[in-house]
Amino acid sequence: MLLRSPSVRRALSTLVPYNPPLNIVRMPASSTLHDFAYTHQKFARGNLPKVVMIHGGPGSHKDFKYLNSAWLNLPGPKPDLVTVDLPGYGESTPKLHEPSADNFAALCLEGLETAGVKPPFIVVGHSLGGHVALSAAQHSAVVGVGFCCGVSVSEHHAVKPFKVNKALGEASKHPLFKYLTIPFLSAFYRLAGFPSGLSFDTIAYVHQRIAALNFAAARQNAVDVAVPWVLLYTLDDHLIESPIFKEMAMVVGDGAAPGGSVDERQGVVVEFEKGGHNIQKTQAAGISEAIVAMWRRHWVPAIL
């Protein structure tokens, strides 16, 4: 009986992180990708949407180990949970010369198709994965979208001044300028609270991804979202300030109802007082419950 208690389930999800087995698929010669790595926990029957979690940068599928545990502990029906390594992260190779949100989204969907993980999908992006999720939401395979402290539709604290960060990211690609950018980028990531052991190649690839951010395109993608969505964020995120998330809630899918509130038929906003930027670890139970609640509300009734 004790293990059935919601509070005990939440505690277990934070104490016993779970990494499901990693699958690595060799991609066709025609693909930009060589290998695509993903995990797939199977729970649902039929052709119900699978939830695909997209990490930020630096990151990999391992970023969701606490979410995996929380998901396992959820009672009742729940969707399959898929986590991926984006190209150039973890075991998915190679790095992209142009690591844009559009490229990541297209190659992620291509990798899932090659792996036999069939749509429809609910794509949920953490941090830099927010723009990837917005781009993926423009594809017919995606029927729902979510954001966990995701980069949104306006420049936020961590990328300002954006022109400088963009220039550093572009410069890090070139051998002549690479070593000039090392002290600046390394200092930036230490100040931002990232692990001190990150290699320069890792930092440079993340910053090249930052340089490829297109906030105007992201805003248009947000306006064009025509599928159910969920936005989750914390008030104490030190990288992205809460007004950025609140603006996102008003823009995505034109989801604002009269009076400035969010239309819950289309979108739901979940605000956590604490949890920092790595919400997939600190609020794993709450995230799991919110995403599964959206899934149950929009898709489960159709099969019951």
- Per-domain residue ranges of the chain: 2-157+214-303
Residue in 264, 258, 271 with CA at minimum distance from that of residue 228:
264
Encoded tokens for 79: 């969707």
pLDDT for the residue numbered 266: 87
Give Cβ neighbours of residue 93 (< 8 Å, ≥ 6 apart): 33, 34, 35, 87
Encoded tokens for 74: 């959820």
pLDDT for the residue numbered 184: 85
Q: How far is CA 302 from the centre of its chain?
A: 27
Encoded tokens for 294: 């959206």
Residue in 215, 211, 186, 185 with CA at minimum distance from that of residue 97:
211
**pLDDT tens series, the chain, 304 aa:** 454 565 665 555 556 789 999 999 999 999 999 999 999 999 988 899 999 999 999 999 999 999 999 999 999 999 999 999 999 999 999 999 999 999 999 999 999 999 999 999 999 999 999 999 999 999 999 999 999 999 999 999 999 999 999 999 999 998 888 888 888 888 889 888 888 889 999 999 999 999 999 999 999 999 999 999 999 999 999 999 999 999 999 999 765 555 556 666 689 999 999 999 999 999 999 999 999 999 999 998 755 4
Residue in 272, 215, 280, 278 with CA at minimum distance from that of residue 248:
215
> What SS3 string covers 52-71?
EEECCCCCCHHHHHHHHHHH
E strand residue ranges, 19-157: 23-26, 35-41, 50-54, 81-85, 121-126, 142-148
Are the C-beta atoms of 13 and 70 separated by less than 8 Å?
A: yes
Q: What distance, in Å, lies between the first and last C-alpha atoms of the chain?
A: 28
Encoded tokens for 71: 């998901």
Q: Which residues pair with residue 38 across a beta bridge?
A: 23, 84
pLDDT tens digits along 102-123: 999 999 999 999 999 999 999 9
Give Cβ neighbours of residue 65 (< 8 Å, ≥ 6 apart): 17, 18, 19
The domain over range 2-157+214-303 is classified in CATH as 3.40.50.1820: yes
pLDDT for the residue numbered 304: 45
Token pair 């931002």 is at which residue?
192
169/9 Cα distance (integer angstroms) = 42
What is the sign of the dihedral through the CA atoms of 232, 255, 118 and 88? Answer: negative
